[in-house]
Amino acid sequence: MSHTLSGTLRDVGEFNLVAALTAKFEQSDQVLVGPGDDAAVLRAPGEQVVASLDMLVQGRHFRLDWSAAADIGHKAAAENLSDINAMGGRPTALLVGLGAPADLDVTWALEFATGLAEEAASVGASIIGGDLTQSDAITIAISALGSCEHGVVRRSGAQRGDVVTLAGRQGWADAGFAVLARGFRSPRAIVDAHRQPQPPYDAGPQAAELGATAMIDVSDGFLQDLGHVATASGVAVDVEKARFEVPEPLQAVGAALGVDPMRFVLTGGDDYGLIATFPAGVDLPDGWRVVGRVLDSGDGTETGMVTVDGEPYEDAGGHRHFR
Region 87-126 residues binding a copy of itself, contact defined as CB under 8 A: 87, 89, 93, 95-97, 99, 102
User: Can residue 292 be called a binding residue for a copy of itself (CB under 8 A)?
Assistant: no
Is the Cβ of residue 31 or residue 175 nearer to a copy of itself in the bound state? 31
| Binding span for a copy of itself by CB under 8 A among 20-28, 78-86, 189-197, 281-289 | 78-86
Lay out the sheet containing 139-147: strands in order across.
Answer: 126-134, 90-100, 139-147
Q: What is d(CA 15, CA 278) in angstroms, rounded to the nearest whole number?
A: 50
Residue choice 133, 186, 297, 303 for contact with a copy of itself (CB under 8 A)? 133
Question: What is the smallest separation between the CB atom of 134 and a copy of itself, expressed in angstroms?
Answer: 5
Q: What is d(CA 9, CA 101) in angstroms, rounded to the nearest whole number?
A: 8
Question: What is the smallest separation between the CB atom of 58 and a copy of itself, expressed in angstroms?
Answer: 9
Number of chain residues interacting with a copy of itself (CB under 8 A): 73
Per the DSSP assignment, residues forming a β-bridge with 100 are 134
Q: What is d(CA 16, CA 171) in angstroms, rounded to the nearest whole number?
A: 41
Question: What is the smallest separation between the CB atom of 249 and a copy of itself, expressed in angstroms?
Answer: 28
168 to 187, contacts with a copy of itself by CB under 8 A?
none
Is the Cβ of residue 225 or residue 238 nearer to a copy of itself in the bound state? 225
What is the distance of C-alpha 124 from the center of its chain?
Answer: 17
CB distance 173 to 269 below 8 Å: yes
Residue choice 5, 21, 25, 50 for contact with a copy of itself (CB under 8 A)? 50
User: Which residues are CB-neighbours of 253 under 8 A, at least 6 positions away?
Assistant: 175, 178, 179, 187, 190, 259, 261, 264
CB distance 143 to 53 below 8 Å: yes
CB distance 199 to 272 below 8 Å: yes
Q: What is d(CA 170, CA 164) in angstroms, rounded to the nearest whole number?
A: 14
What φ, ψ does residue 217 adopt, rounded to 5°?
-95, 155
What φ, ψ does residue 19 adopt, rounded to 5°?
-65, -40
Residue choice 217, 238, 270, 271 for contact with a copy of itself (CB under 8 A)? 217
52 to 71, contacts with a copy of itself by CB under 8 A?
52-57, 60-61
| Binding span for a copy of itself by CB under 8 A among 130-138, 233-241, 259-267, 282-290 | 130-138
| Binding span for a copy of itself by CB under 8 A among 133-141, 160-168, 169-177, 190-198 | 133-141
H helix or E strand, kind and range, residue 231: helix 222-233
Question: What is the smallest separation between the CB atom of 47 and a copy of itself, expressed in angstroms?
Answer: 5
Residue choice 6, 7, 26, 36 for contact with a copy of itself (CB under 8 A)? 36
Question: What is the smallest separation between the CB atom of 195 and a copy of itself, expressed in angstroms?
Answer: 20
